[in-house]
Amino acid sequence: MSTVFQERKRIILVVDTGVDDALALALAVRHPAIQLEAVLTSCGNVGLELATANTLRVLDWLGATDVAVIAGAECPLEASFVDAAYWHGVDGLGGAQLPASQRSALEDAPGYLVKRLLAEPGQITVVCTGPLTNLALALRRDVGIVSRVKDVVVMGGAVQMPGNTTPTAEYNIYADPEAAALVFNQDWPLTMVGLDVTQQVVLTADEVGRLAGETSPEAVLVREVTRDLLVVKGMESMALHDPLAVGVALDPTLVQTLSGQVRVETRGEYTRGQTVFDLRPRGPRPASNTRVCLQVDVSRFRRMFFNALGVFPEAG
C-alpha cells in the first residue's frame, strides 16, 4: 500500500534532542512531503542547553540552517528533572562528532507555539518527541490553541507493555507527568505513538555497519549518533521511537489505532507516569479525539524512513 501526498505536511517538532530525536529531525528535514516549520526544544534526554545545541548541530549538519530553533522549558512543571544520559550519553548524541552550530536559538518556545497556532488555524501539526512540558506551558498561556492545531502527535506512553523507565512508565511521560496529564486531558485530535508500536521498528547494528565508508550527511549522521549504542555498548539494534512519530504524523495509515481517553497517573507511588487506556472488550468507549497506536506496518515505515534518508533503499 502506498500513500500519495497531495501537499506538504506542515510540522512544528518539539524535541529534547538525543539519539532518536536526531534521526526524527533527519526524517522531517529530508522527507519531500514534510515542511518543517520550526523546532522547539526542552529539557529531557539532556538539559535544555545541550538539547538546544544538539538540535542546531543536527539541523546544520543536514543543511537545514533556515529552520528556526526555539528554546523552551528548562525543567518539568512540578517534577524533579531526570535526564536519560545513561542511554543517550552525557552529550545526548552518544558522542557524535558533528560540528558545533554557529547559530543561536530563539527563546520562549511556548509563546512561539501559541502565536503560530493562533495565527494559522488548522494548518500546523505539532509532533512531540520529548517530555510534553512546552506544550503544557502553551496550553496554560492560551487554551485556544486546542481548536487551532491541525493535530498533535506524541511519542510517549505504553498501554500493552511495560514502560522503559519504570515498570509502568515510558520516559517522555515519566519525565513530566503533570504536563502529560494536561496535554492528554484536552479535546484535540491527538495520536499517542507509544512503546507498543515504536519498539517494533528498529535500526540494526548490521544495517549501520553497511554504512561504513558512506559519506552522505545522512549516512554520517546515522553512524555518528548510533555508534555509542550499537558499537561501544554492543547492542544489536535500537528502536526508532521518535522517527516513527514523525512518520505517523505524515501518514496515519502506518498504524492501527483505538480511540478513547488516556489518563496519566501523577500520584501513584509505583505507577507515576503510567498512561492508562481501557482495553477491555466491552461496549462503546466514551467519545474521544485521542487515538492510541496498537499496531504498525513495520516494513512500510522502514521504507519511508530509509528512502527519505537515501540509505538502504531496498529496506522493508
* Mutual angle of helices 177-184 and 133-141, in 10-degree steps: 60
What's the pLDDT score for residue 153? 98
Name the percent of the chain lying above pLDDT 70: 96
What's the pLDDT score for residue 4? 57
Confidence label for 314 from pLDDT (cuts 50, 70 and 90): low
Active site residues: 241
The tens digit of pLDDT for each residue in 195-234 reads 999 999 999 999 999 999 899 999 999 999 999 999 999 9
The tens digit of pLDDT for each residue in 151-183 reads 999 999 999 999 999 999 999 999 999 999 999
pTM: 0.96
Report the pLDDT averaged over residues 257-269: 95
What's the pLDDT score for residue 1? 45
Domain 9-309 coded CATH 3.40.50.10470: no
How is the chain split into domains, by residue range?
Answer: 9-309
